[in-house]
Structures are given as C-alpha cells and as structure tokens.
Structure 1
Amino acid sequence: MINFNIAQWRAWAPGLDSVDAWRAWCHAPALLAQSDAAPDVSFLPAMQRRRLGRLARMAFSVGWPLAEGLRDLPLVFVSRHGETPRTLDILSDLATDQPLSPTQFSLSVHNAVIGLWSILRNETSEMTALAAAGDGLEHGMLEAAALLNEGAPAVLLVITEEQPPGAYARWINDVPFPYALGLLLTPGDEWQLALHTATVQPSETQWPHALNLLRTLLTEQEACQHAWKNRVWNWQRKP
C-alpha cells in the first residue's frame, strides 16, 4: 500500500485540451472522432518540434506545464505500446528493402521521450520509461512512490498512448483514441493505492484506466478499482 497526493494534473486528447472539456467528457464519456490533431508544443524549439511524433508531443504537452518552475524533478514515463506509427514505418521499410532512417529508429525506442525531455529541459534527475501491460499506470505509481520515499519533493508521472495503425488492430484494442495524462505527485495521504492478489479477469472497461482515474478525479468519486491478471488495484481518496 502506498500513499501520495495528486498536486496537479493535465490531460490531452483530440478536442480535449482544457479542464472544462475534460470535465464534460468525464461526466458523459464518448468515443472521439478519428483525428490527426496534435497538441500545441510551441514552447519547444522549432527544429525539435519537427522531429517529434504525436506520442512525444502529447507527453510534452501534459508534462511541461506541470514541471514549470521545478528543478530536479524525477520523471516516470509509461506507455504500453509506444511509438507504433514509427515502428510500422521501420518494419515497412525493412519489408521492402529500403534503407532505414537513423532518426526514425532513435525516436522509436521506448526511452526516446525521456531522453528528449532530459535534453530539452536540461534535466538530470532520475527518469524511468516503463512498458508495462494492462496495469502500467499502477506500476508507474509504484515507481513514483519509491522516488517520493527516497526524498523527492515531487515526481512527474506521464502515461500516454498513440492511436495504433490499422495493421495492429488485431492485437491492440485498448486505445480508443490517442491520449496523455500527466500527474504531479507529492508526499501525502490524500490518495491510497493498494494491491490485492486474486484470480480475476482483466477489467472489461471501455476506457483505459488512466482515463477512468481522471473520471474519478473530476467527478469527485472516492474510489476506483482496476484488475489485471491476478492483480487487483484499489484506488482510494481520503474523504
């Protein structure tokens, strides 16, 4: 069991880029229309912006404002599937005997986002990139809690998923639309996350658990639960 505070949050999805928009969606969640929209990251240098795929842009768009004014801020980055559009492009080039782009490859690896974050923010604190399964958010929280326990005054947790290309549709069914959620975590006891083990079926929910947690936040619910394999995670907010 771990305890923590959620000091601030920020989220992005196509057409959902404000607190009011997310609050409305959380009260009446619905699938979003397919869109190539990407978040505004005009705070980054133009040359760097051009290199970023949408997944990295989403991560920066939610994380950068939360990190504003904070130095030595550890980062935990979570994505189950990573840069699937870049990966497919690389595999397609391989299949047709085309030369591979070193830039495409370097930006497709799972820790590319935290590497870019470190460079662009001149940040040298602890950073972790996780590729967890269906409960990646919770594993990210455990990593963040460990950093808080070691004395970090705050930890930034970012979880994001890109809309996978159609070629992956048979295998990736847990990303209804591209999204990113950033949480600025601090020591405290406003929230509690507890793990129980049992023989359970994965949670059959329409929305990724990161978005269900956001719904819990914005609809002022006191608890939510997420099950994956033999792990049952209970989130509890102190009344």
Structure 2
Amino acid sequence: MSTLHARINGIAYWSQGLDSWQAACGYAANGQLPAEAAVRPSPQLLAPNERRRAPDTVAVALHVAQSACAAAGMDPAQLPSVFASCHGELSITDYMCRTLAEDPASLSPTRFHNSVHNAAAGYWTIGAGAHTPATAISAGAWSFAQGLLEAMVQLHEGAPAVLLVSYDGAATGALATQAPSTGLLGTALVLGRDGPGPALQLRLDDQPAAAPRAPGPLQQRARGNAGEAMMALFDALASAQPALHLPAGPAQGLHIVIDHVR
C-alpha cells in the first residue's frame, strides 16, 4: 500500500500514577512519578451522575479523548473518531456471564448497555454532541495498530482530522484466565493533515513482524495491560525516537517514521 501521512496535532495519556501526557513525558525522561495524580479519570463532558456510573474504560477513553481535542484546539463535535480496545469492559462482561449462569432475571439493563464494545464511542458522541462517524475496533493485541491504520486511512480518504482513542482495563473473574489484563490505560491522538506536532509516515507491510525493540519506560510500566503494545508509539514520541515497527496482525506490521518537529 502507499505511504500514509499525518500530523499529531494533539496527544493525551492516562494511566494509574500518570494522569497526563506531560506527566508521562516526565516519567519517560527521569523515571519519576508526580507527587499527586488522579486515581480515576474524570471526563468532564459527562454529567456528574453519569461520570460516577461510567465504567472505568469509558471514563478513561472519554477523558483522554477530550484532553487530546483540547491539546489540538479542536472542537470534539467536528471530529470523526476511531475507538480501539482489545477487550472493552471485561469486568462487566464477567459480571454478565456469571449472572446469566446463576440468576439471569437479575441482569442489570444499565450494566448490559455498558458491555457492548462501542460503549465508549457511544458515550463520546452523545457527550460531545458529535454527529460525525465513530468507529469501534477490536483486534486483540493488534487493536491499537489497526485503529491507527484506520484513522490514517480516513485522513488519506479526505477527512481533515481524526480522533484516535485506545484504551483497556483490568480483567476479573474467570475471564482473567482467558483474556488477562491489569490496570487501566488510555491514550488519544488527534491526527490532522497539517498543523503543529510530530509528522508521521506509516506503511503497512505484509510480512512477519520484526523482532520487537526493548520496551521503553512507558511500555514497561504498562506491562500486563491488554493494550500495552500501543506504548511503543508513545515511548517513541516521548523520547524523540525516529522510527518504529508495530505488529498489526499475524503476518502484518506497521512501519512508522516520525519527524519530531516542534
């Protein structure tokens, strides 16, 4: 395929102990955690009651989405979006499986509607008032790579800018043995055709993935989370690394070149 191009106009990051992209860059540079960090993401576009009830994965996805749009100086309602997650909300999936096996009549309708894989995308379009297209992607360990590819293809096909959100949370119960994941992790990028920020060149290679580079500090800290693979790009952005390779499937990879313009 042809090489795809984008500018990263806005970046956002959240993990436990590192509640902003600035904090993540500081940690990547000196290994120090902020003295105080939010213990749970707080997406301000939701009403307080909705904010409290939202699952952790929805909360982190909306928090980083809103932060990336603010960093880019763009109206969230105007951006098409791509939401990528390996598993979605595993704790609710575990609850539903247990309840259906033990007491089906007690299944909570509220928790049911939060179990669908596009829950975060749905909350986002409602909260942001966005009538633009929203895509939800699940591709296992390659979810972030496939989400990045989708967002950059949308740019290539004419979108002026695209919001990419990637997130995963902790697994619980029996599902944790089959789909293990720990912690809570969320990132977002506003990708544009021009404007400020690092420039990306991306090419999809139909060949087995190259041997992985030693994980950087952000990826090491995210170890155990289902979405940890996304951290390779964010480590590269934090450390001004010029290129990387992201596995994108059993026999596919993304070759990414980064021009760290300021």
Structure 1 and Structure 2 fold alike (TM over 0.5):
yes
Q: Does 1:96 align with 2:120?
A: no
Q: Residues 108-135 of structure 1: CA distance to partner in whole angstroms, max 9, x if unpaired?
A: 1011111111111211001100011222
1:124 match: 131
In 2: Cα distance, 1:235 partner to 1:201 partner: 13
1:33 match: none
Structure richer in helix, relative to its length: 2
Q: Residues 122-174 of structure 1: CA distance to partner in whole angstroms, max 9, x if unpaired?
A: 1100110001122212211222123212332211000000011153333234x
Q: Does the 8 Å CA contact 1:196/1:231 hold for their aligned counterparts?
A: yes
Q: Secondary structure of 1:135's partner?
A: helix
- What is the total number of aligned residue pairs between the two structures? 233
AA at the equivalent of 2:52: R
Q: Does 1:3 align with 2:5?
A: yes
Q: Does the 8 Å CA contact 2:14/2:21 hold for their aligned counterparts?
A: no
Q: Provide the TM-score with structure 2 as the length reference.
A: 0.80
Q: Does the 8 Å CA contact 1:148/1:186 hold for their aligned counterparts?
A: yes
1:129-144 superposed matches below 5 A? 129-144=136-151
In 1: Cα distance, 2:176 partner to 2:4 partner: 35
1:83 match: 89
Runs of 4+ in 1 over 3 A off after TM superposition: 27-30, 199-207
Q: Does 1:40 align with 2:42?
A: yes
Q: Does the 8 Å CA contact 1:201/1:229 hold for their aligned counterparts?
A: no
In 2: Cα distance, 1:116 partner to 1:53 partner: 11
AA at the equivalent of 1:235: I
Cα RMSD for the two superposed structures: 2.5
In 1: Cα distance, 2:243 partner to 2:183 partner: 24
Change (3 A) 1:125 1:226: same
Give % identity. 30
In 1: Cα distance, 2:258 partner to 2:210 partner: 24
- Out of 44, 58, 61, which is 1:59 matched to? 61
Q: Does the 8 Å CA contact 2:13/2:188 hold for their aligned counterparts?
A: yes
Q: Does the 8 Å CA contact 2:162/2:192 hold for their aligned counterparts?
A: yes
2:186 match: 180
C-alpha displacement of 1:232: 2.2
Q: Does the 8 Å CA contact 2:171/2:182 hold for their aligned counterparts?
A: no
1:158-197 superposed matches below 5 A? 158-173=165-180, 175-188=181-194, 190-197=199-206
Q: Provide the TM-score with structure 1 as the length reference.
A: 0.87
In 2: Cα distance, 1:238 partner to 1:201 partner: 21
Q: Secondary structure of 1:142's partner?
A: helix
